[in-house]
Amino acid sequence: MERVVSGIRSTGNLHLGNYFGAIRNFVRMQNDHECFFFIADYHSLTTHPTPNDLHSNVRQVLVEYLAAGIDPEKATLFVQSDVPEVAELTLLLSMNAYVGELERTSSFKEKVRKNPNNVNAGLLTYPVLMAADILIHRATKVPVGKDQEQHLEMCRKYARRFNGLYKTEYFKEPEPFNFGQDLLKIPGLDGTGKMGKSEGNGLFLADSPKQIRKKVMKAVTDSGPTEPNSPVTEPVQNLFTIMDVVSEPGTLQFFQQEYANCTIRYGDLKKQLAEDIVQFVEPIYNRIQELSADSDYLQKIARMGAEKAHESAAKTVKEVREIIGFKKF
Ligand code: TYM
C-alpha cells in the first residue's frame, strides 16, 4: 500500500485539466491506498484573496472534490490550513532550500514575468510549502499533472538533503504519478497552452451543459488541412487531446482519419466533443448543485479530514523535531 498525497489550490473552480491531470487518479487510488487529498489554501494566499473569497473558494473546491468522486470515508480530505504543522515543516525544510534554485523554478519565473508587482517571498518558497505538504504525510506517490513535475523534483531533493544532513532515511522520495502513463497536460480551448483556472480557456466541472456547448463551439481551430496526411496543427491537436480523455477511442480515430483525408468538418468535431464533455460533466455538475446546499455535511467532512490529517502531520513533525535535535528542558 502506498501513501498518496496531493492537493489543489483554492483559487477558483476546478477544470478538466485538474480532473484528468489529478482527480481521476485520486478517485482510483483511494480504493487501494492510504490517501490524503487537500485544498491548498495557504498556497492560494500568494494572490491575496479577500477573507470572504478565501473561504468561499475553499468551500467550492471541497464541494467539487466530493462531486468528482472523492470518498471521504476512504481518503482523508482536508483543508491545508486546518493542519498548521505544515507551516512548521516548511520552515524546517526551508533551511535546506537554496534561494538560487528557488529563483530558477519555472513556475516562479513565469509568475515574475506575469505579475512583476507581486513577487512575494511566498511565491519564492512555494515549492518548499508544497514539499512539506507531501513529506508531512510521508507520501510515496503524488498524483499530479505535468506542470507539477519540477515541484516534485524539488520535493525529492529536499527529502534527500534532509536525510543526508541528519544521516537518516526518514523521508522516502515521493514520485509523481499517473496511472500507467506519462503525466498529462490538458490543453485549453484557445489554441495554445494548458488549460488553466484564470486563462479564460477552461471547461469547468461547474459549467452547465449550455456553457460547455457554447465554449466548445467557440474553440480555436485553423483553416483546415489542405493536403492529405499533413501534420495536425496545435489548436486542432488540442481538441483531439481533450477528445482523447473524454470520448470513446473510436470517436477520436474517426476525426483523426477525417483530418488525414482533408474531409474533416470542424463544426462536426466540436459538436461531438461538446456532447461527450457534457455527458462526462453533467453528473458532476448536478452533484455540485446538491452538495453546495449542504453546509452541515461539508462541515462534518472538513472536521473529520482535519482530525485525521492533523494526527498524521503531528506525528511527522514530532519525529522530525527529534531527528533535528530539539530537546525539551
Ligand atoms: P493546481 O491547483 O494548479 O492544480 C491541481 C492539479 O491539477 C493539475 N493540473 C493539470 N493537469 C493537466 N493539465 C492541466 N491543464 C492541468 N492544470 C492543472 C496539476 O498538475 C495539479 O496536479 N501547487 C499545486 C497544488 C499543491 C500540491 C501540493 C499538489 C500544493 N501542494 C502537494 C501536489 C502535492 C497547484 O497549484 O496545483
Largest CA distance in the chain: 79
**Which of 3, 6, 8 has most ligand 1 atoms within 8 Å of its beta carbon, as the pocket-test mutant?**
8
Supply 325's cell numbers.
535535535
- State in Å: Cα 7 to ligand 1 middle: 7
Indicate whether residue 43 lines ligand 1 (CB < 6 A). Answer: yes
DSSP 8-state code for residue 49: -
| DSSP letters for 169-189 | --S---EEE-TTSPPP--B-S
Supply 202's cell numbers.
477552461
- Give nearest CA residue, ligand 1 atom 14: 17
- pLDDT at residue 193, rounded to an integer: 86
Would you report the helix, strand and coil content of the chain in percent, each value rounded to 5? 60, 10, 35
Measured at the CA of 267, the angle between CA 265 and CA 270, to 5 degrees, comes to: 110
- Record: fold of 209-289: Tyrosyl-Transfer RNA Synthetase (1.10.240)
- State in Å: Cα 79 to ligand 1 middle: 15
- State in Å: Cα 323 to ligand 1 middle: 31
**Which of 147, 155, 199 has most ligand 1 atoms within 8 Å of its beta carbon, as the pocket-test mutant?**
147
Nearest to 64 by CA among 35, 31, 27: 27
194 is catalytic: yes
Nearest to 316 by CA among 58, 135, 53, 52: 135
- State in Å: Cα 110 to ligand 1 middle: 15
Indicate whether residue 144 lines ligand 1 (CB < 6 A). Answer: yes
CA distance 222 to 220: 7
- Which of ligand 1's atoms lies nearest the C-alpha of 40? 30
Identify the segments of the chain with pLDDT beneath 70: none
Indicate whether residue 111 lines ligand 1 (CB < 6 A). Answer: no
- pLDDT at residue 181, rounded to an integer: 85
Element (H, E) at 86: helix 85-94
DSSP 8-state code for residue 136: T
Please tell me if the domain spanning 3-185+295-324 has the same topology as the one spanning 209-289: no
Q: Read off φ and ψ for residue 50, nearest 5 degrees.
A: -70, 160
- pLDDT at residue 197, rounded to an integer: 86
Instruction: Provide the CA 214 distance to its chain's centre, in angstroms.
Output: 25
Supply 79's cell numbers.
483543508
Supply 190's cell numbers.
484557445
- Which of ligand 1's atoms lies nearest the C-alpha of 21? 11
CATH 3.30.10.20 fits 3-185+295-324, yes or no: no
Element (H, E) at 21: none
CA distance 67 to 313: 26
Supply 282's cell numbers.
453533467
Supply 225's cell numbers.
488541412
- Give nearest CA residue, ligand 1 atom 18: 18
Please report the beta strands in the chain, taking only residues with DSSP state E, as ranges in sequence order.
Answer: 3-9, 34-40, 76-79, 141-143, 175-177
- pLDDT at residue 26, rounded to an integer: 98
111 is catalytic: yes
- pLDDT at residue 10, rounded to an integer: 97
Nearest to 119 by CA among 129, 107, 130: 107
DSSP 8-state code for residue 62: H
**Given 111, 141, 215, 270, the catalytic residue:** 111
Cα distance from N-terminal residue to C-terminal residue, the chain: 39
Give the burial class of 231: count Cβ atoms within 10 A of its Cβ; 0-12 exposed, 13-18 middle, 19 or more buried. Answer: exposed
What is the pTM for the complete model shown? 0.96
| DSSP letters for 195-246 | --SSSS---BTT--HHHHHHHHHT----S---STTPPPPHHHHHHHHHHHHH
197 is catalytic: yes
pLDDT in tens, 51-99: 999 999 999 999 999 999 999 999 999 999 999 999 999 999 999 999 9
Torsion of CA 203, 184, 7, 308, to 10 degrees: 120
- pLDDT at residue 310, rounded to an integer: 98
* Residue spans per domain, the chain: 3-185+295-324, 209-289
- pLDDT at residue 53, rounded to an integer: 96
Nearest to 182 by CA among 127, 143, 240: 143
**Given 74, 197, 308, 315, the catalytic residue:** 197
